[in-house]
Structure 1
Amino acid sequence: MEMMFMILLMCSIIFITTLFFINQNSRKKSNTPPSPPRLPLIGNLHQLGRHPHRSLCSLSHRYGPLMLLHLGRVPVLVVSSADVARDVLKTHDRVFASRPWSKNTEKLLYDGRDVALAPYGEYWRQMKSVCVLSLLSNKMVRSFRDVRQQEISLMMEKIGQSSSLQVNLSEILASLTNDVICRIALGRKYGGETDFKELMKRLTRLLGAVSVGNHVPWLSWIDWLCGLDGQLEKTRNDLDEFLERVVQDHVDVNGDSTDFVDVLLAIQREKSVGFEIDRVSIKAIILDIFVGGTDTSYTLMEWVMTELLHHPECLKRLQEEVRTICKGKSSVSEEDIKDMNYLKAVIKETLRLHPPLPLMVPHESTQDVKLRDYHIPAGTVVMINAWAIGREAATWGPDPEEFRPERHFNSSVDFRGQDFELIPFGAGRRICPAISFAVVLNEEVLANLVHRFDWRLPDESTEDQTGVVAESTGVAIHRMFPLYAIASSTT
């Protein structure tokens, strides 16, 4: 199918190749940001490569931190520095607060009825207030402490049973995150009998799939020919069927539990937020929780453990900190973590080098705006390359590619949206509302892993020798291949 896709594209390019010269000669001499030369029809699509965050970072070295691309018919601004990100997400936050349309998200996320991808406006403000005040408040995060501790304990027991044997850490961390989110959002775990995990894998893969129709509408038939339309339709129907069953089960039981579905149904019943919230909105919000909470959280933990295993001296220092603070304890609690400064530095350094969403969620301008003396028209998509920003030598010094948690000890830069040098969760109006929810889980899991077990890579592993780990493709960037490690219990 990929070969057929490329042949069709090349035929289309050859057919209208003369348009290239017409396009080059007729470009408006308006004051637009620097832009690489583009091909007719597909624009700069061919320059994205398998890992767009890396390709765009390389292009920014030549064309600057504010660069204009054309992905088919879509004008796209690429931001690759903290200073320009501040202009977009703070100075002109309201102008760039909307989200672009995409066939993938329209099909899979209830046509913008969710929070993450809803267009900027009253509906989005209402849904965000529901999430921030009713689902993701500090009070709600604290209320699920027992769920986190129980699932972490089960994970530790599972690893303990394989002590001194090779374990698939990627699979273990993915299962833990899925189980925690399931219990908090839906009230119970959903395992293999519903194929829920496989369904979520399909969802995240399709959210990152390239749709030709998004960029070149008159070639949208290629999406049908390649099977993308069919996959989107089937996954949408399967997701909706599953979520509808979950919501209806909660309606029928009408119990006293306080998972997210119960909270949303109570809001719907009591109309306590001052506006109507329907069944579709409930399902869209729940889907957001999974998309934003499962893949990204496990991806971060996977990269943390990868970096620690590649840097044994950092792992040893972290273990010394955790074991000193928790001396005599069998596990690490949320209260213990408050004084673990090196743990927090390790997580910040991993977020700098491996932001789970390296290109973040795209923004879109709602009106014409002047940005850095350039004219940016309404309807321009903005990609913010958090991966490139985390590697700016001006901020991070001469060794930005090195994993060195100590660099954060003398830095006031944080990842909660106020410092644009480190924005893995975004910033401004569209910042991820679940930062506290994610950070608490990640800190507690990682602290417990290094407290109870000594870790090393298998003897046959070449990772620690090469230092190179292949990345996956898609929206969230995790390891291409699972992380296997050997755990030895210290008790």
Structure 2
Amino acid sequence: MSGLPMVGNLLSLDPELHSYFASMARTYGLIHTLRLGSKVSIVVTSPAIAREVLKDHDTIFANRDVPHVITAIEYGGRDIVFTPYGSEWRMLRKVCVRDMLGSSTLDAVYTLRRQEIRKTIGFLYWQAGQPVNIGEQMFLTVLNVITSMLWGGTVQEKESSRIGAEFWQVVGEVTGLLGKPNVSDFFPGLAWLDMQGIRKQMKGLAQRFDRIFDKVINQRIKMDKQGIISKESKDFLQVLLQLKDAGDSKTPLTMIHLKALLMVCFPISTVHVYQ
């Protein structure tokens, strides 16, 4: 479909994209193009065509542009979401699906999940007769469960709460930046100007991420050397470090990969929290 010079169809987009795409499909057909700045996007609104793109020919369409803001993070674009399809992506997928979220690993972190659920039950028990915001409490419980699964066997309870609170604050701010339309993505030639200051903000958040990860990783390595790792302390971080140390001569799991996986496994983990 035609658009304005320079900006293309950017100014005509509706915030409710699903409704906007449906209306465009009625006018321009089940598959059509949009020009967003200097980039061309293909919109598919048919289940049959979507199946061809996402399943039958998925390897052809697997790669995607890395948002400019993601490149501000040292390990941005090195995770399972943005890594180009190939041996490195297949290695990361295997790590996520088989090693991190496989039944044996989820069974190993069952104790950590149970501890957090019991804390919530205990809190609700002692609030008997008083009003409780169940939605807020369940949200906090989910956050605590996921943080515990990430590195709950590494840091002490009080320290885990503090690190977890900072971690989720950074995650929230990063998510906010990722959701902002960025001129640098629509006009790559202007990316070096960082006109909205989004890349600069992300760099600051990336440094906070790195400090958190370095703290828990160094503490876990120290515990390993001292031989004080208990059977009940296994978490995702321990699994990743063991895979990194085991190594793979062809496609090794590096510390960059490890941090990238920790950063993105929050949305992945939410699917498995209650298993």
TM-score normalized by the length of structure 2? 0.84
Aligned to 1:66: 31
How far did residue 291 of structure 1 move?
A: 4.2
Aligned to 2:55: 90
When residues 65 and 212 of structure 1 are mapped into structure 2, their CA distance, relative to the original with a 3 A threshold, is same
AA matched with 1:113: R
Aligned to 1:426: none
When residues 82 and 273 of structure 1 are mapped into structure 2, their CA distance, relative to the original with a 3 A threshold, is farther
Q: What is the CA–CA distance in structure 1 between the aligned matches of 2:58 and 2:86, rounded to whole Å?
A: 13
How far did residue 183 of structure 1 move?
A: 1.2
Question: Which segments of 5 or more consecutive residues in structure 1 lack a partner in the other structure?
Answer: 1-34, 298-437, 445-491
Q: What is the CA–CA distance in structure 2 between the aligned matches of 1:53 and 1:223, rounded to whole Å?
A: 29
1:261 to 216, 223, 237: 237
Q: Secondary structure at the match of 1:112?
A: coil
1:201 to 166, 172, 179: 172
Is the contact between residue 44 and residue 70 of structure 1 (CA under 8 Å) also seen in structure 2? yes
RMSD: 2.6
Alignment of 1:56-455 (within 5 A): 56-108=21-73, 110-160=75-125, 161=127, 165=131, 167=133, 169=135, 171-187=136-152, 188=155, 190-192=160-162, 195-220=166-191, 223-224=194-195, 226-254=196-224, 255-256=229-230, 257-271=233-247, 275-293=251-269, 297=270, 438-439=271-272, 441=274
When residues 173 and 75 of structure 1 are mapped into structure 2, their CA distance, relative to the original with a 3 A threshold, is farther
How far did residue 192 of structure 1 move?
A: 4.2
How far did residue 130 of structure 1 move?
A: 1.9
Q: What is the CA–CA distance in structure 1 between the aligned matches of 2:145 and 2:83, rounded to whole Å?
A: 26
Is the contact between residue 184 and residue 260 of structure 1 (CA under 8 Å) also seen in structure 2? yes
When residues 262 and 439 of structure 1 are mapped into structure 2, their CA distance, relative to the original with a 3 A threshold, is closer
Is the contact between residue 10 and residue 37 of structure 2 (CA under 8 Å) also seen in structure 1? yes
1:286-333: CA deviations, max 9, x gaps? 11212433xxx4xxxxxxxxxxxxxxxxxxxxxxxxxxxxxxxxxxxx
Is the contact between residue 38 and residue 44 of structure 1 (CA under 8 Å) also seen in structure 2? yes
Q: What is the CA–CA distance in structure 1 between the aligned matches of 2:26 and 2:143, rounded to whole Å?
A: 38
Q: Secondary structure at the match of 1:124?
A: helix
Q: Secondary structure at the match of 1:101?
A: coil
Q: What is the CA–CA distance in structure 2 between the aligned matches of 1:83 and 1:163, rounded to whole Å?
A: 54
**Number of equivalenced pairs:** 262
Q: Secondary structure at the match of 1:220?
A: helix
> Considering only CA atoms, is the larger Rg found in Structure 1 or Structure 2?
1
Aligned to 1:395: none
1:52 to 7, 12, 17: 17
When residues 242 and 48 of structure 1 are mapped into structure 2, their CA distance, relative to the original with a 3 A threshold, is farther
Q: If each structure's helix is expressed as a fraction of its own residues, which one has the higher value?
A: 2
Q: What is the CA–CA distance in structure 2 between the aligned matches of 1:292 and 1:229, rounded to whole Å?
A: 25
Q: What is the CA–CA distance in structure 2 between the aligned matches of 1:96 and 1:285, rounded to whole Å?
A: 22
Q: What is the CA–CA distance in structure 2 between the aligned matches of 1:103 and 1:156, rounded to whole Å?
A: 43
TM-score normalized by the length of structure 1? 0.49
Question: Which segments of 5 or more consecutive residues in structure 2 lack a partner in the other structure?
Answer: none
When residues 89 and 274 of structure 1 are mapped into structure 2, their CA distance, relative to the original with a 3 A threshold, is same
Q: What is the CA–CA distance in structure 2 between the aligned matches of 1:173 and 1:267, rounded to whole Å?
A: 33
Instruction: Give the percent of matched residue pairs that are identical in Structure 1 and Structure 2.
Output: 27
